[in-house]
Structure 1
Amino acid sequence: MSDRRLTPANERVAASFLKGQVDAPRYVDGDSRHCGAAAADMVKVPGGSRISQLVHGDAFLALEDRDGFAFGQSQHDGYCGYVRSSDLADAVEQTHWVAVPQTHTYPDADMKLIQSGALYFGSCVCVNGTQGRWSRLHSGTYVPSAHLRPLGDWMIDPAEAAAQFLGTPYLWGGGTRAGIDCSGLVQAAWRACGLDCPRDSDMQEAQLGRALRAAEAPARGDLVFWSGHVGIVTATNMLLHANAFHMSTVYEPLDAAIARIEAAGNGPVTSIRRV
């Protein structure tokens, strides 16, 4: 059976490419949009709990708009769900990405003005001009140019990218500096390095890298998996992870994390994978 998390179909509509694979009253090609908000919650059902987030510029294939929500599929990881229609905008060509944990947007190229909004790490934007040390976005707002990198100018160390989230509050389904969960942290770090990464920890364990052999010691950048949890090795016996015990993104000795998680009844490490 197909994974419902990755199947763009509900009880009313399905993506056209699923014709013959799933039963639906209607098949549509959908509309290509992107996240126009700083971040947009994706929920399993309208009014339900958060399952993921889009950040500004994330592409979203909208299959249906109904009662203020768009149902569809995130185009960077295939995750499906409902996003508020007001958080989506028409797609524009993107040129840069936000390479700091968070930046502000301003109505003009002046840091003394009251900020007009925010953009989070990994957000993609369209720069259509510069003024001094400022970049003018497609929206007409300005951000510090130092906070942007051209698309394709990726980071090279996922562990370094993940470290930008140190101290970020834990948030189920979150993926930004305002709040993030364990698999969201891994995904944000891998995306910042130009690498594809699925959304949930079970998907990441199944798809990323190879399992370490018993004789191999964990090294920087390896991923440590438990049932329903993942962390990033940053140094010998050191783990960086967003977790509900600390309700934050923290460094924790790996052996201490292994012992604590197992003692809490959440089981042993299921694998350590090198990507």
Structure 2
Amino acid sequence: MRASITVSVANLCDTPNGRRERQLMLGEIVEVGASRDGWAQVAAAKDGYGGWVQDTVLGPPFDATHRVSVLASHLYPRPDMKSGNETWVSFGSRMRVVSADGNFFETHDGRYIPKPHLRPLNAPFADPVTVAQMFFGVPYLWGGNSAMGIDCSGLVQAALVAAGIDCPGDSGPQENALGTPLALGSKPQRGDLLFWKGHVAIAVDHDTLIHANAHHMAVAYERIPDAIQRIESQGDGPVTAHKRLI
């Protein structure tokens, strides 16, 4: 059975009432399996990531037409910015547009969102790095995928999926699945991915990367040589792979 996420952000846990492993955004589609004590076992349609969500966050599936393309937005009960926002939505949230009213789109559930905050699903971003840079300063959150908190693999997945590139949810599968491997020590170019054991970053240019990391507890820029030295010196090892997407 298919369902959609009906809240701004739903934690995807390893067990009912367990540890958060990832998060699902409003409008994401999941395949629903077993249920237990108010929890449902699901697998995310975008990447197959499995876990448990509270069954109260699930609703009927729908065919999305647009995604939120700014870091965050709000949903309103009427096409009026003074009408009082009902909830916030993160970058990557999916919704179906059914009509337009002034500077607002009406969504399939009868709420309204500013037109400039949506992008058609068939119009992906051209540059995943631009997407990653939108998250600069967002707090680090283990297993996070939203504008309220995100981790290293969540940031890379958000950036690549928005650019029309399929991407797993964790850094290990990302290292195995994405891009073409380059020799370690190769000069990075914009969009390259650098992997460590349990960590991933995306190059902004030949000298700078951006990553969600626990050292800064935020999405931050860092010089590539400095990041390599710092990560190894803190005991997390050397770069394990350098991958080029294009």
The TM tier, using the shorter chain, reads over 0.9
Task: State the TM-score, normalizing by the size of structure 2.
Answer: 0.98
Task: Pick the aligned partner of 2:100 from 130, 144, 151.
Answer: 130
- For residue 214 of structure 1, report the CA deviation from its aligned partner: 4.8
Find the counterpart in structure 1 of residue 33 from structure 2. Answer: 63
Task: Pick the aligned partner of 1:272 from 238, 242, 245.
Answer: 242
Find the counterpart in structure 1 of residue 84 from structure 2. Answer: 114
Give unpaired runs (5+ residues) of structure 1.
1-30
Distance 1:134 1:87 in 2: 25
Q: Could you say which structure has the greater relative contact order, defined with CA pairs below 8 angstroms and 6 or more residues apart?
A: 2
Task: Pick the aligned partner of 2:137 from 167, 174, 186.
Answer: 167
Distance 2:56 2:185 in 1: 52
Find the counterpart in structure 2 of residue 240 from structure 1. Answer: 210
Cα offsets for 1:166-214 (capped at 9, x unmatched): 0000000000100000000000000101110001101000010111135
Contact 2:152 2:212 in 1 (8 A): yes
Letter paired with 2:2 = S
Cα offsets for 1:29-87 (capped at 9, x unmatched): xx100111111100001111100011111111011222111102111111110011111
Larger Rg: 1
Find the counterpart in structure 2 of residue 18 from structure 1. Answer: none
Task: Pick the aligned partner of 1:230 from 180, 200, 204.
Answer: 200
Cα offsets for 1:77-116 (capped at 9, x unmatched): 1111001111111101211111001000011011112210
Distance 2:20 2:129 in 1: 26
Task: State the TM-score, normalizing by the size of structure 1.
Answer: 0.87
DSSP-derived class of the 1:41 partner: strand
Per the alignment, do residues 215 and 267 of structure 1 end up closer, same or farther by CA in structure 2, a change over 3 Å counting? closer
DSSP-derived class of the 1:235 partner: coil
Letter paired with 2:61 = A
RMSD: 0.9
Letter paired with 1:40 = A
- For residue 149 of structure 1, report the CA deviation from its aligned partner: 1.1
Distance 1:237 1:207 in 2: 25
Task: Pick the aligned partner of 2:54 from 64, 84, 90.
Answer: 84
Letter paired with 1:229 = H
Distance 2:103 2:144 in 1: 31
Distance 1:110 1:214 in 2: 53
Find the counterpart in structure 2 of residue 73 from structure 1. Answer: 43
Task: Pick the aligned partner of 2:69 from 95, 99, 104.
Answer: 99
Find the counterpart in structure 2 of residue 179 from structure 1. Answer: 149
Q: Which runs of 4+ in 1 moved over 3 A?
A: none
Letter paired with 1:211 = P
DSSP-derived class of the 2:161 partner: helix
Distance 2:179 2:83 in 1: 46
Distance 1:216 1:243 in 2: 23
Contact 2:184 2:241 in 1 (8 A): no
- For residue 215 of structure 1, report the CA deviation from its aligned partner: 6.9
- For residue 273 of structure 1, report the CA deviation from its aligned partner: 0.4
Find the counterpart in structure 2 of residue 32 from structure 1. Answer: 2
- For residue 217 of structure 1, report the CA deviation from its aligned partner: 1.0
Distance 2:121 2:44 in 1: 19
- For residue 127 of structure 1, report the CA deviation from its aligned partner: 0.8
Distance 1:264 1:83 in 2: 34
